[in-house]
Amino acid sequence: MLGALSGGVDGVSLSGVTDLALGDVDGLQVSGVFSFAEGDLDGVQLGVVDVVGGGMAGTQLGVLAFVGGAASGLQGGVLTVSGGRLDGGQLGVVDVAGGGVSGAQLGVITVAGGPLEGLQAGVVNVVSARADGAQLGVVNVAGDVHGAQLGLVNVGGRVQGAQIGLINVADEADAQIGLVGVQGSGWARLRVSGDSTGVLQAELVHGGAWTHMILTAGAAPFLQRPRASVGAGLGAHVTLVEDVELHVELLARVMLGDGVELRGPEMLVEPRVLVSGALVPAVRLYGGLGYQMHFTPDASSELRGPVGAHTLGSFIDAWPALVAGLELF
């Protein structure tokens, strides 16, 4: 049978090209091209183009899967659309839920018109309201977030959780891990410091409630062949008592000059623990202890700690280092 037309389906309806139900479908509706239910679907709809005018409780699989109302179950296709709330999953190239989502949207582009409770995974993920769960993609956009955003670019409102990516933007965030972090209620400080290895540096530190990012530029001017350095790092911080903070950080710096770039990178990688306290308004004093690991292809490099230096491998030296400086904000 090429086509079927009925007032509704209670059981199974099969057709070669089109299957039209002008009422509800309770059961299975299958067509070679176009499956249509004017009312609600409680069951399974299969076709190249699947359309339900009302709500759905079940499964819809096709190139185009469209539900005019709320959907409970699974939609799969190139384009999946639920006009209302989605409770379940959408799997397609483009997934759109007009209302909230409780479950998962997996595709290239995923859009939730209401709150998300669950997972969005795609190249571009958008939630117009609060997201409780996770967004995984290249670009993630949401309102307030309770959970995590992982992508190259993450944008959120109040983030109770973490943003992990190259660029992270939020009104306020518990943790931002990436190269650039922007917070409307965040903070930024400029550090100037020196360490016992003889490296002087300036650091731009920006962060939020629990974590911070570091961009650094410095120099080792006391060597016979002075060197410059650039680097980045990340850290976590906590307030010990009023105006006294504890910072745990990891820095990675690339040493420049002296032609070492032609032989391979020369790096200083340093985990360190710092304590800072307020001197006067807008000025803090900080200091602490680090462990500097020096990776170099140049056995004749002058860069070395004054005490406690030891060899970890063929091209790795390490030593403890004291650091002290000022924070300005």
Around Cβ 206, how many Cβ atoms within 10 Å?
17
Determine the 3-state secondary structure of 300 from DSSP.
coil
Nearest-5° angle of CA 101, CA 104, CA 109? 90
Q: Which two tokens stand for residue 127?
A: 């939630």
251-283: pLDDT as tens digits: 999 988 765 555 567 899 999 999 999 999 899
Transcribe 272-299 into DSSP letters.
Answer: EEEEEEEEETTEEEEEEEEEEEEE-S-T
Mean pLDDT of 124-143: 97
Counting residues of the chain whose pLDDT is more than 70, the rounded percentage is 96
| 224 pLDDT above the threshold of 90 | no
Dihedrals phi, psi of 242, to nearest 5 degrees: -55, 125
Residue 1: the pLDDT is 61
Residue 230 confidence (pLDDT): 95
Q: Per-residue pLDDT for 37 more than 80?
A: yes
Highest mean pLDDT among 4-8, 69-73, 206-210: 69-73
Q: Encoding tokens for residue 67?
A: 């539900």
Give me the mean pLDDT over the 242-247 stretch.
94
Task: Quickly state the pLDDT bin for 65 (edges 50, 70, 90).
Answer: very high
Lookup result for tokens 């803090």 = 284
Taking 90 as the threshold, does the pLDDT of residue 325 lie above it?
A: yes
Residue with tokens 């967004």: 135
pLDDT at 210 over 70: yes
The per-residue pLDDT of the chain, averaged, comes to 92
Residue range 218-243: average pLDDT? 92
Amino acid identity, position 171: D
Which of the four pLDDT bands, split at 50, 70 and 90, describes residue 143?
very high
Handedness of CA 180, 183, 189, 194 (dihedral sign): negative
- Check: CB of residue 318 under 8 Å from CB of residue 304: no
Place of tokens 């039209």: 20
* Per-residue confidence band for 14, with pLDDT thresholds at 50, 70 and 90: confident
Of the candidates 204, 215, 208, which has an alpha carbon nearest to the alpha carbon of residue 184?
A: 208
Least confident of 175-184, 185-194, 209-218, 302-311: 302-311
**Tell me: the pLDDT tens digits for 292-315?**
999 887 777 788 888 888 887 768
Backbone angles phi, psi at 8, to 5 degrees: 170, 170
Question: What is the pLDDT at residue 171?
Answer: 93
Query: What pLDDT does residue 2 have?
Result: 62
Short-list 143, 144, 91, 84, CA closest to 120: 91
As separate numbers, helices (DSSP H) first and strands (DSSP E) second, the chain gives 0, 30
Q: CA-CA distance, 199 to 270, in Å (whole number)?
A: 13
What are the helix (H) ranges across 161-206? none
Q: What's the full length of the chain, in residues?
A: 329
Rounded Cα gap, residues 244 and 45, in angstroms: 63
Domains and CATH numbers, the chain: 3-183 (no CATH), 187-328 (2.40.160.20)
pLDDT tens, position by position, 85-109: 999 999 999 999 999 999 999 999 9
pLDDT at 301: 78
Candidate from 73-87, 150-164, 229-243, 252-266 with smallest mean pLDDT: 252-266
DSSP 14: E
CA distance 203 to 216: 4
